[in-house]
Every structure is written in structure tokens, then in C-alpha cells.
Structure 1
Amino acid sequence: MSLEDFNLLKLLANTIDILLVWYVIYRLIMVVRGTKAVQLLKGIFVILIVTVISDRFQLQTLNWMMEQVLLWGFLAVIIIFQPELRRALEQLGRGRFFSRTTNQEDQELEKMVESIVKATDYMAKRRIGALISIERETGMGDYIETGIPLQAKISSELLINIFIPNTPLHDGAVVLQKNQVAAAACYLPLSESPFISKELGTRHRAALGISEVTDSLTIVVSEETGAISLTKNGELHRDLKIDAFRELLSKEMLSQLKPKQASSTRWNWRGKKNG
């Protein structure tokens, strides 16, 4: 083997090594995203910055404190991140750590879509106001913490019961995380866009607001008209019929399972006005 071939193989091995390390780091980030662990990671990052600054400017006392924190930090991280580490090990044991999805997850996602559609159809026919936000890639832990934690399995009956008027949880948003109802009565940020139609109420503004800061899907049922709307990426799809709503929701959530369907009819909030 020539020296040139040896260097090429070494370069290829180093490249694969780096890519594998980055992929493992990416998967670990996916495990902790949307949890309190994200805030703890930010705290660790701040500690590292303070350590570098104290060392650079010879702040001996502060530097000693940071060294002690880093010295015992490894043990503290294991204790603090115990739930996330356990979840990662469970996924690794099931062979899911390096896989994108499983048949079981696909079936759960399909059931989740059907439960949401069934509940939305029921509430729309009876003009029961509702606001349901579905977490996707961007974590919604901060908004979940503003509500009442439920951690319950998603079902159409539960969603309907939450939004029945004059019940303790009906005022606010329900946040769905993975295959669970994470919390109810959550506060979502209101959109401050000046282009929103004045006839739209607080629910629609909250749905648009959360879609502007996250990649979540948010469903709105109008209490006045029973109209169904869906927001994503700062766009509002209004007055959706139940079939169009099912198609749009399925397209967004089940795109990896089914061929892309024809785009459903949608109404932009700057366009058609109706309830």
C-alpha cells in the first residue's frame, strides 16, 4: 500500500469518526430537547464561559470555585440528567437510538391524528371553542410549564372533555407532546402582527403567535362560528372543512408514512374573512 493510499484511508476514517460523533451528539440533543435538561445545559455553558473569563483575567478565587464545580460536575450531571440518560439507554436497548421511526410509533401517530380529527369535528359541530398545539421539532417545555400537567394518553374523549365550557381546564391551550397530552390551560404568546384581521379572537392570535416562534401545529375551533383553523410557520389556514383539515393534518404529521397528497384548499388570514 502506497503512502498516498494510506493517507487517504486515514482521512476517510477520521471523517467517518467525526460524522459519527456529531450524529451521536445530535441524537442526544433530540433526547433532551423540550425538557428541563435544556435549561441545565445552558447553565453548564454559562459555567464554562465564566471559567474561561476567570482564567483569562486571573480571578483566582472565582477560578478556584469554577474548577471545583467542573471537578464534581460530572457526578452532578449524571444525577441531574438521570431521567434523560435512562430514556436514551432505553431507546438504545430497543434499537431506536439510531432509527428515525418504528412501526409502533407510526401507528400511534395515525391514532393521534384520528383522535384529534374526531375531537375537532365534535367541538366544531357544537361550537365549543378549542386551542390545541402539537409539539414538533422545537421544544415547548416553557409553555407546558405555564399550564396544568396531565401527561395523559391522547384520546378524542379527553380532548373534548377538557374544552367543555365552564370546566377548570377549558380556558387556555392544550399542548400535545409526542403521544401524550402534556398539559392543559397553557398560555401561548399572542401574535403582534398588525395584519391580523380584527375579527379574529384571542385563540387565533395565540395560535399564530406560537407558530411564529416554534414549528408547532396549532388547531383552533371558533366558539362563535365553529370554524376550524390550523396554523403553522406563521400561516393561518382558515375555515377548513373536516376532510380538508384531516388531509392537511395528515400531510404535516404523516408525510413520512404516506405519499405526499395533493395540497388541500387553504385560506390565508390576509384573504378570505369568515368568523
Structure 2
Amino acid sequence: MSLAFISIRWLDFLDILLVAILMYQLYNLLKGTVAIRILLGILSLYLIWKLVEALKMELLDEILGQFIGVGVIALIIVFQQEIRRFLLIVGNRSILAQPRIRKKFGAWKWNDQKVEELNSKAIIKACFNMSKSKTGALIVISKDSELKYHASTGDQIDGIVSSNLLETIFFKNNPMHDGGVIIHANKIKAARCILPVSDNPKIHASYGLRHRAAVGITENSTAVAIIVSEETGEISFCKNGNLKHKLEIDELRSLLEREFKN
């Protein structure tokens, strides 16, 4: 298609579509956080710079251009958590990340080591026993990554998952009961781990640090988290920063099977 002074190719439509999708995903990632206000401020400044450039105001154009050029480095620092989260989303949704595609690559698999199936029955039993006794617990279960950085902040265990071990760790008189437990490949890698606390303002004020830590770790990784409330005994499940509350045994079993069924 061609006009008197511009020509439009089909690639231009594709370009606009891709930018629109990217901006929409970016908005979904940042909405409800302080970062969205920073982003809007940067976009406003960028539009002003482009207007100044079009009006050929050379001095102001030079100042704003230098400021925005240096600002790219500042953006990477300010938005490092959001950038990490965005790349995780892209990686999880990419074609190569899909199980059927990964199977076809055979020897090209990211992890050739066979991962032992998760003993979800032991986790469910421990959670409901702790729920009855109102024992607070935070269990993080990872499928793709060992979360070594977060595991290194706690006490290393590397023990096979069992209900007795989990209940012993979170027993209130046990010095390891504070913090989170990290499970990978059906092993309790570490206990008393320090996890990132989410600053999402949508988390209800009644939820404490366990729930905020569960949201924080699942926002920044592909792991899921189970929380047992010390105050109410309520069991919650968290994935991608989204909490599901007041779970019954069948609901928790269904969620775990969906995530870790081989």
C-alpha cells in the first residue's frame, strides 16, 4: 500500500503488532507495582525528547539525548527484578520450552539427568498435619532449577522428602523452623532459607511474611510454594505470584499433580 508521501509494507504492520504485544506484556508485568510509575515517567520524558528533536531545539535535544543515553544503564539497575521476571516468562512460554518440542531434541535436553518423581503424598500429609496443629510452614518446590542462591542462605540438608522430616523442620521449637524449605528433585535441599519478599500492593494486609515470601520467590522463578498459616492453619498455594487460599486436600493434590506429573 502506498500514499503520496509514505509507503507502508506488510512488515510495518508486523512491526507495530509486535511492539503492541511487547508493551502489553510489559504493562501486565509492572501493573500494581511502583515500577509502573517509573516507566510512565520515562516514556513521558522520551516523548518530550522526540518532540524537541522534531522542533530542532538543538541544545535541549542534546541534553535530553545524553540523559536518556546514560539512563539505559540506570534502567537495567532499577528494573533488574522486572527484567529477570520478564525473561523467565519469555523462556517458559517459548516454543523450545514446551515438553513435546524438548522431547524431540533427544540429546539436546537441558538436563540429561533423570529427575526423581516428587513424593507429593508426603508433602500433602505434612501440610495437613501442620494445618491441624497450626504450625507455620513455607515449602518451595522447584522443577527446573535448584535455586542454589536462595538455598545457600539456609542450612543444607539434601534429604529425601518425607512427611516426618518436613514436620520436624517446621516444629516450632526447632531452630530451623523459620524461613523456607527448598525442594528439588524430590530432595529437601535446604531449610531456614531467606526468600525475597514481594512488594506487590495487592497482597492482602492480613497475610504476613510467609505469604509475601511465597509470592516473591514465585514471581522471580518457575517454582511453586505451599504456605501453612500459623494463625489460622489455612493452606495456600502460590504460582507466578498468584495465591490460592483455603485449600482442601484434594485441591492441593490436584495442583501438585498438575505441576509435577512426569
Pair in the same fold by TM > 0.5: yes
CA distance in 1, matches of 2:111, 2:258: 17
Match of 2:123 among 116, 125, 133: 116
Residue in structure 1 matched with residue 25 of structure 2 by the alignment: none
For 1:224, give the aligned amino acid.
E
Match of 2:213 among 206, 209, 226: 206
Give 1:138 shift.
Answer: 3.9
Structure 2 unaligned runs (5+)? 1-105
CA distance in 1, matches of 2:151, 2:236: 22
For 1:109, give the aligned amino acid.
E
Residue in structure 2 matched with residue 168 of structure 1 by the alignment: 175
Query: In the superposition, relative to structure 1, how do residues 148 and 250 fare at CA in structure 2: closer, same or farther (>3 Å)?
Result: same
Give 1:222 shift.
Answer: 0.4
Structure 1 unaligned runs (5+)? 1-95, 257-275
Give 1:244 shift.
Answer: 0.8
Residue in structure 2 matched with residue 218 of structure 1 by the alignment: 225
Aligned-pair Cα RMSD in Å: 2.1
For 2:228, give the aligned amino acid.
V
For 1:182, give the aligned amino acid.
K
Residue in structure 2 matched with residue 192 of structure 1 by the alignment: 199
For 2:207, give the aligned amino acid.
L
Matched, 1:234 2:241: yes
When the two structures are superposed, what TM-score results if normalisation uses the length of structure 1? 0.53
CA distance in 2, matches of 1:189, 1:253: 23
Query: In the superposition, relative to structure 1, how do residues 189 and 99 fare at CA in structure 2: closer, same or farther (>3 Å)?
Result: closer
Query: In the superposition, relative to structure 1, how do residues 222 and 98 fare at CA in structure 2: closer, same or farther (>3 Å)?
Result: same
Give 1:122 shift.
Answer: 0.7
Match of 2:256 among 237, 249, 270: 249
Give the SS at the match of 2:190.
strand
For 1:179, give the aligned amino acid.
N
Give 1:165 shift.
Answer: 0.3
Matches within 5 A, 1:45-56: none
When the two structures are superposed, what TM-score results if normalisation uses the length of structure 2? 0.56
CA distance in 1, matches of 2:107, 2:153: 30
Matches within 5 A, 1:10-21: none
Matched, 1:127 2:134: yes
Deviating beyond 4 angstroms after TM superposition, the runs of 4 or more aligned structure 1 residues are: 96-102
CA deviation profile, 1:220-248 (whole Å, cap 9, x unmatched): 00001111101111111111111111111
CA distance in 1, matches of 2:185, 2:169: 19
Give the SS at the match of 2:243.
strand
What is the aligned length?
156
